[in-house]
C-alpha cells in the first residue's frame, strides 16, 4: 500500500503539496517514477517540469540521497530505511481536461500528472487522503473510503481517475439499464437540466445497446465550466473530464449541441480505447512514447459515433448531422497534408506534432480522416448488406473478442473484422486511404450517394481563395496568409504562410482586402512584409477554382435502395 496525503495550503500559489510513503522492502535503492504522458493525449506531457521541492527522507525524517535517472525518474538510496517518505509540490495553474488545478475554489487533480509510482511495483494499491476544507465534496471514479479518503487498487487505476474537490460541486444522476451515471458540475452555468438528463440518457442507452453492456459499474461526467472559450474532453475508464466555456452562453443551441457531442464522444471512449485498446498501449507504458497507427480507430471511429449517435437519438437534426459530415469533408480537402502523410502515419506522429498545426502540407488529423474512414466503412457495410450489417457490428465484435478479454488489437485485426462481415473486401480501401494518401473525394461521393446524399460543390465565397488559392487571417487588424493551395497562383507567385499583406496595388487594406483584390484582378500587385522586409509580388488568376465549398444534401428522389441505406444509417438497426 502506498499512502499519499494531498495538501492545499496557500491555494493562490497553485502549488499542490504531496506527501507519500513508499515501502522499500529491503531494497538498497528504489526508483520513483512520474508519468511522462497521459492517455488520451498521445504526446509527451513532461509533467516533471511542474515539480519543485522534491525530497526523500527515511522514517525518522533524515534526508536520503537521490539522483535522477531520466527526466521523470528519481533513484533514491534507501540507506536501510524500511520506508521512503517523499514530499514535493506540483504547480497546478492550468485548467483543461487533462491538467491539474488548485485555487481558492477547488482542488482538481489528474493523478497521471502528479502521482509517483514505485517502478518495481506499479501494481501496489494506493490510499489518498485529501487535506481539503471539511465542506468540500469530491467527484471522482475512485472508491471512497470516506468523502476525503480515496482508494485505488493499482497505479493504473489511480492514474485513470481524475477528481474535483470543491464546495460548489453540483450533482445530477441518471440510470440506464441499472448502471448509475453521475454528472458533476463545477462552475456556474445556465443549463436546462431536464433536457440535459434526457439527452444524456438517450445517447447512453444507444451506446449500451450497441455494445451489449458497459465495462464499468458506474460512470462519472466531471464538468468544468469556465467564463472563456474552451472545449476539451479527456476519456477515462469510468469517468471523463470535460472543460467548456463560455459558461454564460450554454442557452445557445450550438454550444449545447457541442456539449452533447463531446460528452457522447468521451463516453464512447469507455469502450473504444479505454477497453478496446491498440496492442501497443496494452498496458500503457508511462515512461515513453506508445506509438500506434490505429488513431483512425480510437479517435476516428469515436469521433464518428460521437455525432452520429446524437443524430440517431434525435438530439441532432438531419440537417445538423449532414453539416457535421460536410464540415469534415471541408476540413479534409482544406488540409494539403493529406497527399503527403497517411492517417496511419499521422497517428504515429501524434507523438511528434499531433496537437499543433505543424508545418504546412505535412500531416493530417486522426479525428478528421478517421471520421471519414469510419463513415466510408459504415455506409459500405450497410449498403453491401442491404441494411443487415453496419460498423456497429464490427465495434461489438471488437469489444467481445478484444476489449472484454483484455487483448490488444492490431490494424490487421480491425481490417479482418470488417472483412469478416462477408459483404465487402476492405483491403484495397485501407491501402488507398488508411495507409495510403489517395484522394478521398471520389470514394466519399460514392458512399454518400449510397444513402441518397449528394456532395455538392461551389466556389468559396472568398475571392482570394477561389481565384488565387490564398486564405487570409484578418482577425488581428493585420492581413496574414493562413493557407496556400499547392501550385495555385498564390503559391506560384511566392506567397507563403505567415506573410503579411500591407498593400494591394499600392493601397493599404482596411478590412477590405478581398474587395481590393477583386478590383485589381487584372493586374494584381501585392506588397508584403516577411521577417521585417518588404517584398513585392505579382499575381495572376488562372480562371481555375482553387478552393471549393462542400455541402451534403439529400437527393430529391432517392431510389428505394438509397432509402433503405438511409433508414438503416439513421436507425442503426441491422
Judge contact between 114 and 94, C-beta under 8 A: no
Which CB sits closer to Zn ion, 57 or 216? Answer: 216
- Alpha-carbon torsion angle 410, 413, 418, 421, nearest 10: -160
SS3 129: strand
Q: How far is the CB of 327 from Zn ion (least distance, A)?
A: 17
Which CB sits closer to Zn ion, 58 or 299? Answer: 299
Alpha helices (runs of H) in 385-501, residue ranges in sequence order: 391-398, 411-420, 427-433, 441-450, 463-468, 489-493
Which CB sits closer to Zn ion, 267 or 517? Answer: 267
Q: How far is the CB of 28 from Zn ion (least distance, A)?
A: 43
| Cell numbers that stand for 57 in this block | 527522507
Q: Tell me whether the omega of the peptide bond preceding residue 463 falls within 30 degrees of 0, making it cis.
A: no
Q: How far is the CB of 375 from Zn ion (least distance, A)?
A: 16
Q: How far is the CB of 458 from Zn ion (least distance, A)?
A: 32
Which CB sits closer to Zn ion, 299 or 499? Answer: 299
Site residues, Zn ion (CB under 5 A): 299
DSSP 8-class letter at 62: P
β-strand pairing of 2-7 with 548-554: unpaired
Q: How far is the CB of 299 from Zn ion (least distance, A)?
A: 5
Q: How far is the CB of 563 from Zn ion (least distance, A)?
A: 33
Which CB sits closer to Zn ion, 45 or 489? Answer: 45
Judge contact between 520 and 506, C-beta under 8 A: no
Q: Tell me whether the omega of the peptide bond preceding residue 246 falls within 30 degrees of 0, making it cis.
A: yes
Which CB sits closer to Zn ion, 346 or 464? Answer: 346
- Alpha-carbon torsion angle 260, 265, 266, 269, nearest 10: 160
β-strand pairing of 2-7 with 126-131: parallel
SS3 548: strand
| Cell numbers that stand for 552 in this block | 451534403
Which CB sits closer to Zn ion, 118 or 266? Answer: 266
Alpha helices (runs of H) in 69-178, residue ranges in sequence order: 111-114, 155-159
Which CB sits closer to Zn ion, 293 or 299? Answer: 299
Q: How far is the CB of 294 from Zn ion (least distance, A)?
A: 13
Rounded to 10 deg, the angle between the 560-571 and 441-450 helix axes is: 90
End-to-end CA distance of the chain: 49
Q: How far is the CB of 45 from Zn ion (least distance, A)?
A: 16
Amino acid at each position: 500500500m502506498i499512502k499519499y496525503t494531498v495538501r492545499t495550503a496557500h491555494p493562490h500559489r497553485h502549488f499542490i503539496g504531496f506527501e507519500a510513503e513508499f515501502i522499500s522492502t529491503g531494497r538498497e535503492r528504489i526508483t520513483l517514477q512520474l508519468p511522462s504522458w497521459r492517455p488520451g493525449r498521445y504526446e509527451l506531457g513532461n509533467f516533471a517540469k511542474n515539480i519543485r521541492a522534491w525530497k526523500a527522507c527515511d522514517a525518522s525524517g533524515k534526508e536520503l540521497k537521490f539522483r535522477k535517472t531520466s527526466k521523470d525518474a528519481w533513484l533514491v538510496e534507501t540507506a536501510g530505511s524500511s520506508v521512503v517518505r517523499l514530499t514535493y509540490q506540483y504547480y497546478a495553474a492550468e485548467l483543461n481536461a487533462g491538467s491539474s488545478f488548485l485555487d481558492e475554489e477547488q482542488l482538481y487533480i489528474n493523478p497521471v500528472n502528479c502521482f509517483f509510482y514505485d517502478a518495481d511495483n506499479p501494481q501496489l494499491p494506493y490510499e489518498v487522503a485529501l487535506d481539503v476544507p471539511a465542506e468540500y465534496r469530491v467527484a471522482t471514479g475512485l472508491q471512497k473510503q470516506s468523502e476525503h479518503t480515496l482508494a485505488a487498487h493499482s497505479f493504473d487505476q489511480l492514474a485513470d481517475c481524475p477528481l474535483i474537490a470543491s464546495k460548489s460541486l453540483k450533482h445530477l444522476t441518471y440510470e440506464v439499464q441499472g448502471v448509475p451515471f453521475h454528472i458533476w458540475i463545477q462552475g456556474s452555468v445556465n443549463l436546462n437540466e431536464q433536457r440535459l438528463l434526457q439527452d444524456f440518457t438517450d445517447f447512453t442507452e444507444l451506446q449500451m445497446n450497441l455494445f451489449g453492456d458497459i465495462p464499468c459499474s458506474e460512470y462519472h461526467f466531471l464538468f468544468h465550466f469556465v467564463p472563456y472559450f474552451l472545449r476539451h474532453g479527456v476519456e477515462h475508464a469510468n469517468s471523463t473530464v470535460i472543460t467548456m466555456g463560455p459558461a454564460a452562453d450554454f442557452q445557445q443551441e450550438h454550444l449545447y449541441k457541442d456539449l452533447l457531442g463531446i460528452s457522447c464522444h468521451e463516453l464512447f471512449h469507455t469502450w473504444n480505447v479505454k477497453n478496446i485498446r491498440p496492442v501497443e498501449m496494452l498496458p500503457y507504458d508511462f515512461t515513453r512514447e506508445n506509438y500506434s497507427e490505429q488513431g483512425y480507430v480510437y479517435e476516428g471511429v469515436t469521433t464518428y459515433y460521437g455525432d452520429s449517435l446524437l443524430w440517431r437519438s434525435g438530439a441532432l437534426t438531419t440537417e445538423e448531422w449532414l453539416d457535421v459530415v460536410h464540415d469534415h469533408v471541408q476540413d479534409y480537402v482544406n488540409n494539403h497534408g493529406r497527399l503527403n502523410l497517411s492517417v496511419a502515419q499521422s497517428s504515429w506522429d501524434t507523438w511528434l506534432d499531433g496537437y499543433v498545426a505543424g508545418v504546412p502540407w505535412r500531416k493530417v488529423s486522426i479525428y478528421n480522416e478517421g471520421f471519414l474512414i469510419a463513415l466510408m466503412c459504415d455506409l459500405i457495410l450497410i449498403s453491401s448488406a442491404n441494411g443487415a450489417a453496419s460498423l456497429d457490428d464490427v465495434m461489438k465484435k471488437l469489444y467481445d473478442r478484444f476489449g472484454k478479454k483484455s487483448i490488444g488489437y492490431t490494424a490487421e485485426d480491425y481490417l479482418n473484422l470488417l472483412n469478416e462481415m462477408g459483404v465487402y473486401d476492405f483491403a484495397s480501401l485501407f491501402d488507398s486511404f488508411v495507409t495510403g494518401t489517395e484522394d478521398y473525394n471520389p470514394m466519399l461521393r460514392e458512399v454518400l450517394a449510397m444513402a441518397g446524399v449528394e456532395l455538392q460543390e461551389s466556389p468559396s465565397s472568398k475571392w482570394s481563395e477561389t481565384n488565387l488559392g490564398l486564405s487570409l487571417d484578418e482577425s488581428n487588424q493585420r492581413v496574414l496568409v493562413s493557407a496556400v493551395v499547392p501550385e495555385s497562383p498564390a503559391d506560384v507567385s511566392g506567397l507563403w504562410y505567415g506573410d503579411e499583406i500591407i498593400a494591394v496595388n499600392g493601397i493599404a487594406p482596411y478590412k477590405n482586402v478581398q474587395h481590393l483584390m477583386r478590383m485589381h484582378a487584372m493586374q494584381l500587385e501585392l506588397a508584403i512584409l516577411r521577417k521585417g522586409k518588404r517584398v513585392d509580388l505579382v499575381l495572376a488568376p488562372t480562371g481555375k477554382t482553387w478552393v471549393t465549398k462542400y455541402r451534403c444534401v439529400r437527393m430529391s428522389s432517392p431510389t428505394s435502395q438509397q432509402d433503405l441505406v438511409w433508414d438503416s444509417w439513421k436507425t442503426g438497426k441491422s
